[in-house]
Amino acid sequence: MIPLPLIDGRTLARVITYLNKHTEDDASDEAKRKFDEEFLYGMEVGVLYDAALAANYLDIGGLFHEVCQRIADGMMNKSVEWVRKTFHIESEFTSEEEVQIKKEYAWAWEGVDSNAD
Amino acid sequence: MRMLEPGKPPPTKKARKERNQGKATASTSSTENMEQDIWKDFPEDLFEAVIARLPIATFFRFRSVCQVAPSNCACLADQIDCVASGISRGLVCFLDIGHRGFYVCNPLTRSFKELPARSVKVWSRVAVGMTLNGKSASSGYKILWVGCGGEYEVYDSKKNCWTRPGNMPSSIKLPLALNFRSQAVAVEGMLYFMRSDPDGLVSYDSTTGIWKQFVIPAPPHLSDHTIAECGGRIMLVGLLTKNAATCVCIWELQRMTLLWKEVDRMPNIWCLEFYGKHVRMTCLGNKGLLMLSLRSRQMNRLVTYDLSTGEWLKVPGCILPRGRKRQWIACGTAFHPCLTAMA
Protein backbone atom coordinates (compact mmCIF):
# COMPACT_ATOMS: atom_id res chain seq x y z
CA MET A 1 0.00 0.00 0.00
CA ILE A 2 1.35 3.43 -1.00
CA PRO A 3 0.11 6.32 1.11
CA LEU A 4 -0.70 9.52 -0.78
CA PRO A 5 -1.08 12.13 1.93
CA LEU A 6 -1.91 15.06 -0.33
CA ILE A 7 -4.81 13.60 -2.29
CA ASP A 8 -8.24 12.58 -1.00
CA GLY A 9 -10.01 9.43 -2.11
CA ARG A 10 -12.56 11.11 -4.34
CA THR A 11 -9.95 13.05 -6.33
CA LEU A 12 -7.77 9.97 -6.65
CA ALA A 13 -10.73 8.00 -8.01
CA ARG A 14 -11.25 10.69 -10.67
CA VAL A 15 -7.55 10.65 -11.57
CA ILE A 16 -7.66 6.88 -11.96
CA THR A 17 -10.72 7.14 -14.23
CA TYR A 18 -8.77 9.60 -16.39
CA LEU A 19 -5.68 7.39 -16.50
CA ASN A 20 -7.70 4.28 -17.32
CA LYS A 21 -9.14 5.97 -20.37
CA HIS A 22 -5.83 7.43 -21.53
CA THR A 23 -3.97 4.15 -21.26
CA GLU A 24 -6.58 2.10 -23.15
CA ASP A 25 -4.89 0.30 -26.04
CA ASP A 26 -7.65 0.85 -28.55
CA ALA A 27 -8.74 4.36 -27.58
CA SER A 28 -8.23 6.75 -30.48
CA ASP A 29 -7.03 10.33 -29.99
CA GLU A 30 -10.53 11.47 -30.93
CA ALA A 31 -12.09 9.22 -28.29
CA LYS A 32 -9.68 10.50 -25.66
CA ARG A 33 -10.45 14.10 -26.57
CA LYS A 34 -14.19 13.41 -26.30
CA PHE A 35 -13.63 11.74 -22.94
CA ASP A 36 -11.66 14.76 -21.66
CA GLU A 37 -14.46 17.10 -22.74
CA GLU A 38 -17.10 15.10 -20.88
CA PHE A 39 -14.80 14.47 -17.92
CA LEU A 40 -14.15 18.17 -17.35
CA TYR A 41 -17.56 19.46 -18.41
CA GLY A 42 -19.31 21.24 -15.57
CA MET A 43 -16.60 20.20 -13.11
CA GLU A 44 -17.13 21.93 -9.82
CA VAL A 45 -14.52 24.50 -8.98
CA GLY A 46 -13.41 22.66 -5.83
CA VAL A 47 -12.90 19.52 -7.92
CA LEU A 48 -10.89 21.47 -10.52
CA TYR A 49 -8.72 22.84 -7.74
CA ASP A 50 -8.09 19.39 -6.24
CA ALA A 51 -7.50 17.86 -9.67
CA ALA A 52 -4.88 20.49 -10.50
CA LEU A 53 -2.99 19.82 -7.29
CA ALA A 54 -3.27 16.03 -7.71
CA ALA A 55 -2.16 16.02 -11.35
CA ASN A 56 0.80 18.21 -10.41
CA TYR A 57 1.77 16.02 -7.43
CA LEU A 58 1.46 12.80 -9.46
CA ASP A 59 3.12 14.41 -12.48
CA ILE A 60 0.33 13.49 -14.93
CA GLY A 61 1.09 15.93 -17.73
CA GLY A 62 -2.03 15.45 -19.86
CA LEU A 63 -4.48 15.84 -16.99
CA PHE A 64 -2.54 18.77 -15.54
CA HIS A 65 -2.67 20.56 -18.88
CA GLU A 66 -6.41 19.94 -19.33
CA VAL A 67 -7.31 21.11 -15.85
CA CYS A 68 -5.10 24.23 -16.02
CA GLN A 69 -6.60 25.06 -19.40
CA ARG A 70 -10.10 24.71 -17.94
CA ILE A 71 -9.21 27.05 -15.09
CA ALA A 72 -7.66 29.51 -17.55
CA ASP A 73 -10.83 29.37 -19.66
CA GLY A 74 -12.81 30.39 -16.57
CA MET A 75 -10.58 33.42 -16.05
CA MET A 76 -10.12 34.78 -19.51
CA ASN A 77 -12.83 37.41 -19.43
CA LYS A 78 -12.18 38.51 -15.90
CA SER A 79 -10.76 41.88 -14.94
CA VAL A 80 -7.39 42.58 -13.38
CA GLU A 81 -9.15 43.53 -10.13
CA TRP A 82 -11.04 40.24 -10.04
CA VAL A 83 -7.76 38.29 -10.41
CA ARG A 84 -6.17 40.22 -7.55
CA LYS A 85 -9.20 39.73 -5.31
CA THR A 86 -9.73 36.05 -6.11
CA PHE A 87 -6.11 34.96 -5.80
CA HIS A 88 -5.36 37.39 -2.96
CA ILE A 89 -2.53 39.06 -4.85
CA GLU A 90 -1.21 42.37 -3.65
CA SER A 91 -0.13 44.74 -6.33
CA GLU A 92 3.01 46.74 -5.68
CA PHE A 93 2.43 48.96 -8.69
CA THR A 94 1.69 52.63 -8.14
CA SER A 95 -1.31 53.98 -10.01
CA GLU A 96 1.07 55.78 -12.40
CA GLU A 97 2.85 52.50 -13.14
CA GLU A 98 -0.48 50.81 -13.81
CA VAL A 99 -1.42 53.55 -16.26
CA GLN A 100 1.96 53.10 -17.94
CA ILE A 101 1.45 49.33 -18.34
CA LYS A 102 -2.01 49.87 -19.75
CA LYS A 103 -0.54 52.27 -22.30
CA GLU A 104 2.28 49.90 -23.25
CA TYR A 105 -0.14 47.03 -23.90
CA ALA A 106 -3.11 49.10 -25.02
CA TRP A 107 -3.85 46.60 -27.78
CA ALA A 108 -4.65 43.96 -25.13
CA TRP A 109 -7.50 46.13 -23.80
CA GLU A 110 -9.12 46.71 -27.19
CA GLY A 111 -12.79 45.76 -27.04
CA VAL A 112 -12.60 45.02 -23.31
CA ASP A 113 -14.74 46.89 -20.82
CA SER A 114 -12.24 47.67 -18.06
CA ASN A 115 -14.98 47.66 -15.46
CA ALA A 116 -16.41 44.31 -16.48
CA ASP A 117 -15.90 41.38 -14.18
CA MET B 1 3.45 38.36 -5.46
CA ARG B 2 2.24 37.56 -1.95
CA MET B 3 0.56 34.18 -2.00
CA LEU B 4 0.84 30.84 -0.31
CA GLU B 5 4.18 30.69 1.49
CA PRO B 6 6.52 27.94 0.35
CA GLY B 7 6.25 24.90 2.57
CA LYS B 8 2.70 25.62 3.62
CA PRO B 9 0.71 22.43 3.12
CA PRO B 10 -2.41 22.41 0.97
CA PRO B 11 -5.77 22.55 2.78
CA THR B 12 -6.59 19.57 5.04
CA LYS B 13 -9.55 17.35 4.46
CA LYS B 14 -11.52 19.18 7.12
CA ALA B 15 -11.00 22.57 5.59
CA ARG B 16 -12.09 21.26 2.21
CA LYS B 17 -15.31 19.85 3.67
CA GLU B 18 -16.14 23.20 5.23
CA ARG B 19 -15.43 24.83 1.90
CA ASN B 20 -17.65 22.40 0.03
CA GLN B 21 -20.59 23.14 2.25
CA GLY B 22 -20.72 26.73 1.15
CA LYS B 23 -19.94 25.89 -2.47
CA ALA B 24 -22.21 26.33 -5.44
CA THR B 25 -23.51 23.15 -6.97
CA ALA B 26 -22.21 22.06 -10.38
CA SER B 27 -22.86 24.76 -12.90
CA THR B 28 -22.51 24.63 -16.65
CA SER B 29 -21.09 28.14 -16.71
CA SER B 30 -17.34 28.14 -16.16
CA THR B 31 -17.36 31.84 -15.33
CA GLU B 32 -19.70 31.24 -12.39
CA ASN B 33 -17.46 28.37 -11.30
CA MET B 34 -14.54 30.68 -10.64
CA GLU B 35 -16.32 32.73 -8.00
CA GLN B 36 -14.97 30.79 -5.04
CA ASP B 37 -12.81 31.71 -2.13
CA ILE B 38 -10.62 28.62 -2.48
CA TRP B 39 -8.34 30.20 -5.07
CA LYS B 40 -6.52 32.21 -2.44
CA ASP B 41 -4.69 29.02 -1.44
CA PHE B 42 -3.78 28.08 -5.02
CA PRO B 43 0.01 27.48 -5.19
CA GLU B 44 2.01 30.12 -7.05
CA ASP B 45 3.68 27.72 -9.47
CA LEU B 46 0.31 26.27 -10.48
CA PHE B 47 -1.06 29.80 -10.89
CA GLU B 48 1.75 30.44 -13.39
CA ALA B 49 0.85 27.25 -15.27
CA VAL B 50 -2.73 28.53 -15.57
CA ILE B 51 -1.70 32.03 -16.66
CA ALA B 52 0.50 30.56 -19.39
CA ARG B 53 -2.60 29.02 -20.97
CA LEU B 54 -4.56 32.24 -21.27
CA PRO B 55 -5.22 33.87 -24.65
CA ILE B 56 -2.40 36.26 -25.45
CA ALA B 57 -4.43 39.46 -25.00
CA THR B 58 -5.66 38.30 -21.57
CA PHE B 59 -2.12 37.33 -20.59
CA PHE B 60 -0.89 40.82 -21.35
CA ARG B 61 -3.83 42.45 -19.51
CA PHE B 62 -2.93 40.40 -16.44
CA ARG B 63 0.63 41.74 -16.51
CA SER B 64 -0.77 44.65 -14.53
CA VAL B 65 -2.01 42.29 -11.78
CA CYS B 66 1.28 42.52 -9.91
CA GLN B 67 4.98 42.98 -10.32
CA VAL B 68 7.16 40.04 -11.21
CA ALA B 69 10.86 39.82 -10.41
CA PRO B 70 12.61 42.14 -12.85
CA SER B 71 13.99 40.07 -15.66
CA ASN B 72 17.49 40.62 -16.89
CA CYS B 73 16.12 41.08 -20.37
CA ALA B 74 14.61 44.54 -20.01
CA CYS B 75 17.84 46.26 -18.93
CA LEU B 76 20.25 44.02 -20.80
CA ALA B 77 18.57 44.53 -24.15
CA ASP B 78 19.38 48.24 -23.96
CA GLN B 79 23.05 47.51 -23.49
CA ILE B 80 23.89 44.78 -25.94
CA ASP B 81 24.84 45.29 -29.52
CA CYS B 82 23.23 42.21 -30.83
CA VAL B 83 22.21 40.27 -33.84
CA ALA B 84 19.27 37.90 -33.86
CA SER B 85 20.88 34.71 -34.98
CA GLY B 86 18.52 31.83 -34.58
CA ILE B 87 14.89 31.03 -34.01
CA SER B 88 13.17 27.94 -32.77
CA ARG B 89 9.56 27.55 -31.60
CA GLY B 90 9.03 30.73 -29.60
CA LEU B 91 12.68 31.30 -28.74
CA VAL B 92 15.17 33.69 -30.31
CA CYS B 93 18.94 33.45 -29.98
CA PHE B 94 20.91 36.68 -29.90
CA LEU B 95 24.59 37.03 -30.51
CA ASP B 96 26.18 39.98 -28.73
CA ILE B 97 29.12 40.88 -30.90
CA GLY B 98 30.36 43.66 -28.63
CA HIS B 99 30.41 41.81 -25.35
CA ARG B 100 30.83 38.37 -26.86
CA GLY B 101 27.95 36.39 -25.52
CA PHE B 102 24.99 34.30 -26.54
CA TYR B 103 21.53 34.97 -25.20
CA VAL B 104 18.32 33.03 -25.63
CA CYS B 105 15.04 34.74 -25.03
CA ASN B 106 11.30 34.30 -25.37
CA PRO B 107 10.29 37.77 -26.61
CA LEU B 108 6.70 37.21 -25.51
CA THR B 109 7.31 36.38 -21.86
CA ARG B 110 10.74 38.02 -21.64
CA SER B 111 12.25 34.90 -20.12
CA PHE B 112 15.91 35.36 -20.79
CA LYS B 113 19.06 33.32 -20.44
CA GLU B 114 22.72 34.03 -20.97
CA LEU B 115 24.57 31.00 -22.25
CA PRO B 116 27.94 29.91 -20.82
CA ALA B 117 30.86 31.85 -22.31
CA ARG B 118 32.75 30.74 -25.41
CA SER B 119 36.22 31.55 -26.61
CA VAL B 120 35.48 32.38 -30.22
CA LYS B 121 38.23 34.12 -32.14
CA VAL B 122 36.23 36.34 -34.47
CA TRP B 123 32.69 36.94 -33.28
CA SER B 124 31.46 38.80 -36.31
CA ARG B 125 32.39 35.99 -38.68
CA VAL B 126 30.33 33.15 -37.23
CA ALA B 127 27.03 31.77 -38.40
CA VAL B 128 24.54 30.57 -35.81
CA GLY B 129 21.75 28.04 -36.08
CA MET B 130 19.18 26.83 -33.58
CA THR B 131 17.16 23.63 -33.56
CA LEU B 132 14.74 21.90 -31.23
CA ASN B 133 15.61 18.53 -29.70
CA GLY B 134 12.07 17.26 -30.10
CA LYS B 135 8.63 18.49 -31.11
CA SER B 136 8.03 21.00 -28.32
CA ALA B 137 10.06 23.72 -26.65
CA SER B 138 10.17 21.72 -23.39
CA SER B 139 12.30 19.01 -25.06
CA GLY B 140 15.17 21.48 -25.15
CA TYR B 141 17.11 23.03 -27.98
CA LYS B 142 20.58 23.11 -29.50
CA ILE B 143 22.50 26.11 -30.74
CA LEU B 144 25.41 25.77 -33.13
CA TRP B 145 27.98 28.36 -34.09
CA VAL B 146 30.32 27.72 -36.99
CA GLY B 147 33.24 29.79 -38.26
CA CYS B 148 34.93 30.13 -41.60
CA GLY B 149 37.84 27.95 -40.58
CA GLY B 150 35.49 25.02 -40.00
CA GLU B 151 35.56 25.33 -36.22
CA TYR B 152 32.21 24.86 -34.50
CA GLU B 153 30.55 24.17 -31.17
CA VAL B 154 27.13 22.97 -30.09
CA TYR B 155 25.18 24.10 -27.02
CA ASP B 156 22.60 21.70 -25.55
CA SER B 157 20.01 23.39 -23.32
CA LYS B 158 19.25 20.15 -21.47
CA LYS B 159 22.86 19.82 -20.33
CA ASN B 160 23.47 23.59 -20.30
CA CYS B 161 26.92 23.18 -21.78
CA TRP B 162 28.84 23.62 -25.01
CA THR B 163 30.63 20.74 -26.67
CA ARG B 164 32.96 20.44 -29.60
CA PRO B 165 31.72 17.17 -31.13
CA GLY B 166 34.52 16.78 -33.64
CA ASN B 167 36.07 18.21 -36.77
CA MET B 168 34.46 19.10 -40.02
CA PRO B 169 34.99 16.34 -42.59
CA SER B 170 37.39 16.90 -45.46
CA SER B 171 34.49 16.79 -47.91
CA ILE B 172 33.58 20.32 -46.75
CA LYS B 173 35.75 22.80 -48.61
CA LEU B 174 37.61 25.21 -46.36
CA PRO B 175 37.69 28.09 -45.82
CA LEU B 176 33.94 27.98 -45.36
CA ALA B 177 32.69 31.08 -47.18
CA LEU B 178 29.50 31.45 -45.19
CA ASN B 179 26.75 33.83 -46.26
CA PHE B 180 26.38 35.91 -43.09
CA ARG B 181 23.37 37.86 -44.38
CA SER B 182 21.45 34.62 -44.70
CA GLN B 183 19.89 33.02 -41.64
CA ALA B 184 20.32 29.32 -41.04
CA VAL B 185 17.35 27.08 -41.69
CA ALA B 186 16.31 24.20 -39.42
CA VAL B 187 14.36 21.24 -40.77
CA GLU B 188 13.68 18.39 -38.30
CA GLY B 189 16.98 18.59 -36.48
CA MET B 190 19.04 19.42 -39.60
CA LEU B 191 20.61 22.86 -39.86
CA TYR B 192 21.39 24.35 -43.27
CA PHE B 193 23.79 27.22 -43.89
CA MET B 194 24.37 28.99 -47.16
CA ARG B 195 27.90 29.13 -48.56
CA SER B 196 29.78 30.21 -51.62
CA ASP B 197 33.00 29.05 -53.28
CA PRO B 198 31.51 26.64 -54.12
CA ASP B 199 27.94 27.96 -54.12
CA GLY B 200 25.51 25.82 -52.19
CA LEU B 201 24.64 24.65 -48.71
CA VAL B 202 26.31 22.91 -45.81
CA SER B 203 24.15 20.91 -43.43
CA TYR B 204 24.64 19.73 -39.87
CA ASP B 205 22.61 16.90 -38.39
CA SER B 206 22.11 17.80 -34.73
CA THR B 207 21.27 14.20 -33.77
CA THR B 208 24.22 12.44 -35.49
CA GLY B 209 26.69 15.33 -35.60
CA ILE B 210 27.35 14.74 -39.31
CA TRP B 211 28.24 17.58 -41.69
CA LYS B 212 27.45 17.42 -45.41
CA GLN B 213 28.07 19.77 -48.32
CA PHE B 214 25.73 20.35 -51.27
CA VAL B 215 27.06 22.14 -54.32
CA ILE B 216 24.18 24.08 -55.87
CA PRO B 217 24.83 26.64 -58.62
CA ALA B 218 23.48 30.08 -57.70
CA PRO B 219 20.97 31.77 -59.99
CA PRO B 220 22.69 34.48 -62.07
CA HIS B 221 22.45 38.20 -61.23
CA LEU B 222 21.50 37.31 -57.65
CA SER B 223 22.05 39.59 -54.64
CA ASP B 224 20.88 40.02 -51.02
CA HIS B 225 19.81 36.43 -50.89
CA THR B 226 18.89 34.17 -48.00
CA ILE B 227 17.56 30.68 -47.52
CA ALA B 228 14.18 29.99 -45.98
CA GLU B 229 12.03 27.00 -45.21
CA CYS B 230 8.41 26.00 -45.57
CA GLY B 231 6.97 22.60 -44.74
CA GLY B 232 10.34 20.91 -45.12
CA ARG B 233 11.07 22.57 -48.48
CA ILE B 234 14.21 24.67 -48.69
CA MET B 235 13.71 27.97 -50.49
CA LEU B 236 15.95 30.76 -51.70
CA VAL B 237 14.86 34.41 -51.63
CA GLY B 238 16.83 37.11 -53.36
CA LEU B 239 17.00 40.09 -55.67
CA LEU B 240 17.40 39.46 -59.36
CA THR B 241 18.84 42.48 -61.15
CA LYS B 242 19.11 42.50 -64.91
CA ASN B 243 19.95 45.74 -66.71
CA ALA B 244 18.00 48.34 -64.75
CA ALA B 245 15.19 46.07 -63.60
CA THR B 246 15.13 44.53 -60.14
CA CYS B 247 12.74 41.90 -58.96
CA VAL B 248 12.32 39.76 -55.86
CA CYS B 249 12.42 36.07 -56.75
CA ILE B 250 11.67 32.88 -54.88
CA TRP B 251 13.35 29.59 -55.74
CA GLU B 252 12.82 26.11 -54.37
CA LEU B 253 15.60 23.57 -53.99
CA GLN B 254 15.11 20.49 -56.14
CA ARG B 255 16.72 17.88 -53.90
CA MET B 256 17.10 15.24 -56.59
CA THR B 257 19.01 17.47 -59.01
CA LEU B 258 20.44 19.97 -56.47
CA LEU B 259 19.28 22.91 -58.53
CA TRP B 260 17.30 26.04 -57.62
CA LYS B 261 14.01 26.26 -59.51
CA GLU B 262 12.23 29.60 -59.71
CA VAL B 263 8.73 29.26 -58.25
CA ASP B 264 7.53 32.84 -57.78
CA ARG B 265 8.29 36.50 -58.33
CA MET B 266 7.07 39.70 -56.72
CA PRO B 267 4.24 41.24 -58.79
CA ASN B 268 5.69 43.19 -61.70
CA ILE B 269 3.91 46.40 -60.88
CA TRP B 270 5.62 46.53 -57.48
CA CYS B 271 9.01 45.79 -59.04
CA LEU B 272 8.58 48.79 -61.39
CA GLU B 273 8.87 51.07 -58.38
CA PHE B 274 12.53 50.09 -58.16
CA TYR B 275 13.33 50.36 -61.85
CA GLY B 276 16.65 52.06 -62.42
CA LYS B 277 17.33 52.32 -58.69
CA HIS B 278 19.94 50.60 -56.61
CA VAL B 279 17.97 48.37 -54.23
CA ARG B 280 18.99 46.54 -51.09
CA MET B 281 16.86 43.87 -49.47
CA THR B 282 16.79 42.44 -45.96
CA CYS B 283 14.76 39.32 -45.26
CA LEU B 284 13.24 39.00 -41.81
CA GLY B 285 11.94 35.61 -40.84
CA ASN B 286 12.78 32.54 -42.85
CA LYS B 287 10.11 30.00 -41.93
CA GLY B 288 6.71 30.02 -43.58
CA LEU B 289 6.23 33.78 -43.65
CA LEU B 290 8.87 36.24 -44.82
CA MET B 291 9.01 39.97 -44.33
CA LEU B 292 11.14 41.74 -46.91
CA SER B 293 12.52 45.20 -46.34
CA LEU B 294 13.30 46.80 -49.72
CA ARG B 295 15.31 50.00 -49.64
CA SER B 296 16.56 52.43 -52.23
CA ARG B 297 17.81 55.97 -51.65
CA GLN B 298 14.40 57.55 -51.33
CA MET B 299 12.28 54.54 -50.61
CA ASN B 300 11.63 51.97 -47.98
CA ARG B 301 9.05 49.26 -48.68
CA LEU B 302 7.92 46.43 -46.48
CA VAL B 303 6.41 43.39 -48.13
CA THR B 304 5.41 40.00 -46.76
CA TYR B 305 5.43 36.75 -48.69
CA ASP B 306 3.66 33.60 -47.50
CA LEU B 307 5.75 30.64 -48.69
CA SER B 308 2.86 28.19 -48.47
CA THR B 309 0.17 30.23 -50.23
CA GLY B 310 2.38 32.36 -52.49
CA GLU B 311 0.63 35.52 -51.32
CA TRP B 312 2.42 38.87 -51.52
CA LEU B 313 1.22 41.66 -49.26
CA LYS B 314 2.32 45.24 -48.75
CA VAL B 315 2.89 46.18 -45.14
CA PRO B 316 2.54 49.66 -43.65
CA GLY B 317 5.81 51.34 -42.76
CA CYS B 318 7.16 50.91 -39.25
CA ILE B 319 6.82 54.05 -37.19
CA LEU B 320 7.94 54.03 -33.58
CA PRO B 321 5.57 55.36 -30.91
CA ARG B 322 5.80 59.17 -30.74
CA GLY B 323 7.84 59.09 -33.96
CA ARG B 324 6.93 60.44 -37.32
CA LYS B 325 9.47 58.98 -39.68
CA ARG B 326 9.29 55.47 -40.99
CA GLN B 327 12.05 53.28 -39.65
CA TRP B 328 14.70 51.69 -41.83
CA ILE B 329 14.88 48.08 -40.77
CA ALA B 330 18.49 46.97 -40.66
CA CYS B 331 17.99 43.47 -39.32
CA GLY B 332 15.46 41.43 -37.47
CA THR B 333 13.92 38.04 -37.15
CA ALA B 334 10.49 36.52 -36.96
CA PHE B 335 9.41 34.13 -34.25
CA HIS B 336 6.38 32.01 -33.51
CA PRO B 337 4.84 33.43 -30.31
CA CYS B 338 4.79 30.74 -27.65
CA LEU B 339 3.91 31.51 -24.07
CA THR B 340 5.32 28.26 -22.66
CA ALA B 341 8.75 28.26 -24.35
CA MET B 342 11.41 28.71 -21.67
CA ALA B 343 14.80 30.19 -22.45
Shared domain for A69 and A96, answered yes or no, is no
Measured between CA atoms, the residue of chain B closest to residue A61 is B49
Shared domain for A84 and A71, answered yes or no, is no
Shared domain for A89 and A34, answered yes or no, is no
Q: Could you tell me which residue, B173 or A60, shows the higher pLDDT?
A: B173
CATH code, domain carrying A34: 3.30.710.10
Shared domain for A87 and A58, answered yes or no, is no
**Cβ distance of B3 and A88 shorter than 8 Å:** yes
pLDDT of amino acid B94? 79
| Chain A partners within 8 Å of B21 (Cβ) | none
Shared domain for A22 and A52, answered yes or no, is yes
pLDDT of B140 over the 70 cut: yes
Cis omega before residue B175 (within 30°)?
yes
pLDDT of amino acid B29? 45
Alpha-carbon gap: A36 to the closest alpha carbon of chain B (Å): 16
In a domain, A89, yes or no: yes
Shared domain for A52 and A90, answered yes or no, is no
State the ipTM, two decimals: 0.86
In a domain, A2, yes or no: no
B36, B37, B40, B42 alpha-carbon torsion, rounded to 10°: -50
pLDDT of amino acid B205? 94
pLDDT interval class at B10 (50, 70, 90)? very low
Shared domain for A40 and A87, answered yes or no, is no
| Chain A partners within 8 Å of B30 (Cβ) | 70, 73-74
In a domain, A43, yes or no: yes
Q: What is the mean pLDDT of chain B?
A: 77
* B241-264 pLDDT per residue, tens: 988 899 999 999 999 999 999 999
**Cβ distance of A72 and B53 shorter than 8 Å:** yes
In a domain, A4, yes or no: no
In a domain, A1, yes or no: no
Number of domains in chain A: 2
In a domain, A95, yes or no: yes
Measured between CA atoms, the residue of chain A closest to residue B13 is A8
Shared domain for A19 and A66, answered yes or no, is yes
Measured between CA atoms, the residue of chain B closest to residue A68 is B50
- Out of B130-134, B154-158, B266-270, pick the least confident: B130-134
User: Which of B2, B51, B61 faces A80 most closely, judged by CB atoms?
Assistant: B61
Shared domain for A71 and A36, answered yes or no, is yes
**Cβ distance of B50 and A75 shorter than 8 Å:** yes
pLDDT of amino acid B74? 32
In a domain, A3, yes or no: no
pLDDT of amino acid B71? 33
pLDDT of amino acid B336? 65
Share of chain A above pLDDT 70, in %: 94
Query: For chain B, how many residues are written?
Result: 343
**Cβ distance of A105 and B60 shorter than 8 Å:** yes
Measured between CA atoms, the residue of chain A closest to residue B63 is A101
Across B62-88, average pLDDT: 51
pLDDT of amino acid B248? 96
pLDDT of amino acid B65? 76
Shared domain for A54 and A98, answered yes or no, is no
In a domain, A98, yes or no: yes
pLDDT interval class at B181 (50, 70, 90)? confident
Of the candidates B207, B209, B203, which has an alpha carbon nearest to the alpha carbon of residue B258? B203
pLDDT of A11 over the 80 cut: yes
CA atoms of B57 and A111, how far apart (whole Å): 11
pLDDT of B341 over the 50 cut: yes
Q: Following DSSP, what letter does each residue of A45-62 receive, concatenated?
A: HHHHHHHHHHHHHTT-HH
Shared domain for A65 and A84, answered yes or no, is no
For chain A, count helices (H), then strands (E). Answer: 6, 0
Name the residue range of residue A99's domain: 80-116
> b/e map of A23-56 (b: 16 or more CB within 10 Å)?
eeeeeeeeebeebbeebbeebbbbbbbbbbbbbb
Shared domain for A17 and A61, answered yes or no, is yes
pTM above 0.80, yes or no: no
Return the residue in B61, B136, B322 with the most chain A beta carbons within 10 A, the one to mutate for interface testing: B61
| Chain B partners within 8 Å of A6 (Cβ) | 9-10
